[in-house]
Amino acid sequence: MSGTDCFHDITTFPDQFYIKSRIKSSIMALYVFLFYHKRK
């Protein structure tokens, strides 16, 4: 394993974590929106 491979793994990991957290937060926002929309 070369230094560039290790560096590549380090730089791509936060991207995947960021994308997953963005998807999770958008799903949560959608649930909250639908929940409040139904209560009206």
Instruction: Calculate mean pLDDT across residues 15-34.
Output: 89
Which pLDDT belongs to residue 11? 59
Q: What is the pLDDT of residue 25?
A: 93
pLDDT tier for residue 17 given thresholds of 50, 70 and 90: confident
Which structure tokens are listed for 19?
Answer: 């994308």
Reading the block at residue 20, the tokens are 């997953």
3-class state of residue 1 by DSSP: coil
1 Cβ contact list (under 8 Å, min separation 6) = none
Angstrom distance (rounded) from CA 28 to CA 30: 5
Mean pLDDT calculated for residue range 25-38: 92
Q: Which residue has the tokens 């974590």?
A: 17
* Domain count of the fold of the chain: 1
Domain membership flag for residue 19:
yes
Domain that holds residue 19: 15-40
User: Is 36 a member of any domain?
Assistant: yes
* Residue-level pLDDT at 29: 94
Report residue 1's pLDDT band, with 50, 70 and 90 as the boundaries: very low
Does 24 map to a domain? Answer: yes
